Structure 1
Amino acid sequence: MDFALLHPDPDDAGWLRPVSPSAALAQRLHPIEREIQERRRHSVELVDSFEPFMDISAQDPPTTHAITVLEGSTRINAAIDVATAECRTEVLTVQPGGGRSEDILSKGLERGKAVVDRGVSIRTLYQHTVRHHQGTFAYAERLASGVEIRTLEELVERMLIFDQTVAFIPAKDDRTAALELRHPGLISYLTRVFEQLWQRATPLLEEIQYDPTPAGISGVQRSIAQLLVEGHVDDSIARRLGMNVRTCRAHIAKLNATLGSNSRAQLGYLIALSGILDSDS
């Protein structure tokens, strides 16, 4: 009965008549084959519908994560370690701020030596304030064979570029998040920014050539004066010039004494009057 090999006798309701096995099989197979044919037809329609999109994607290069957000120092350092291990030609780094702690320099030395020992070159930009930090000079001497260090008064935020294929920049001011960039256009743009800064920078072991200023005002104080006139507060000036706030305020105090100022408002007026910011002074 399950295979439909028997069916009720129309002449005698109490009896069952046998059915030819081939006929019973055909009867069972017919709806299955019809379903199979319908599915095949549907699959052909799907292939035809997707074919134009497949042709388009076949022409595109393999997709990569152009921008990846890295949260937390553990994940950031892990990604940088991977990029460092895969680097084969050159590392470009921008490191704003003053001198680093012994622990940071020690870790940087370990990572730097691993890179330099593979024949990879490193170019690093610091701010002028590291010139007063002995630890930075010791770090440079330990990596002298494969590392070039130059300094500028002001720098953009921290940046690392490996082989011009992957870059890392901060995503938050407190540096608890970073962006890992792999888009060729972004990498090319950041590399050009680095090269422009590099051309303006002074090698670490060369003396900085400041423009002449009135007697008693240093090049650093002139830079602070410029930022004061632009309206920056002490914290902002210190951060931009890579020094601590106490040092910044000491320079401002010297500016006050040199120009004879008794207030911040008067100092701005006297800076403008003194001509120390004139390009030809």
Structure 2
Amino acid sequence: MGGQAEIGYRALLTRSRWQPERLEHALAWSPDQGATVLAELRGEGLVMNSAVEAGAVRAIQPCLALPALAARRLSGGPMPSAAAVETFVSLHEQTTGRLDDACPLSDMDEVLAVVERLAARVRNEVVILAPLYDPRSYEFAEHIAEGVLRRGAGLRALWRTDVSAVDYAVWLGKRGHTPRATSNVPVRAVVVDGLVGVVLNEAGAGRVIRTENELRSLVALADGLWAQSVEVSQVPKGRPTRSRHELVLRMLAQGLTDDAIARRLGVSVRTVRGDVASAMVELDARSRFQAGVRAMQMGLL
């Protein structure tokens, strides 16, 4: 990011949302300067519209946004340094603090921030229960789903049958994770790895849950509903898609040789070696294996 863009992003992270004119006043920016910076941040996937307040914007959490930015630039464009990403995310996480049920989430912007942080840490699976359609919420946020799938985790989206989100269902289906629907979804929630979840009330406020009994009940409910659900209709099935650069990095982390990677991808060894060399430079890595490991640490995989 440019200097002013980073200043703006850091400022945006200090609140759940900002009206542009208030941000401009806080940073002594002109309206034109503010509009330019926000446009840059939007283009980089670091800022989105508030889900709560018309005209306001919110920062996407860096643990999810910065790895996504780096992943988009793997095949071209200036790559953010691995050390810079790790430091930025670490400092923000320390400032934000631990996620626990002591801090209620008062609105959807706060819920989004928490779900983004959880999605950035997933190891196995995210389960989403959606009894209603809200295009501004985490259940239908492509950047959150992308973050989950980029980490190689599963994503089970379970909707009530009257939820109408065909475009998003198609988008998920093309990535090999077609949503399913059932007649009754009695709770609005998300569960990550069966270890932590967020439950929302009718007003869209939420709370983080970590207690074993609550999580066990929620997972059992989700499993039962999933078993009786059907795939959302008119959604073409697809296979998960990844760029060649991401696949090369994942295989590097697994310790595969250039020849083995080339055979699996159906490309020349020379192409693989070029990808490996680029990845080592972009990720500040001293070895092939370190490049793969660092990519995983940054959340690129």
The answer to whether TM tops 0.5 is no
TM-score where L is the length of structure 2 = 0.41
Structure (1 or 2) with the larger CA radius of gyration: 1
TM-score where L is the length of structure 1 = 0.43
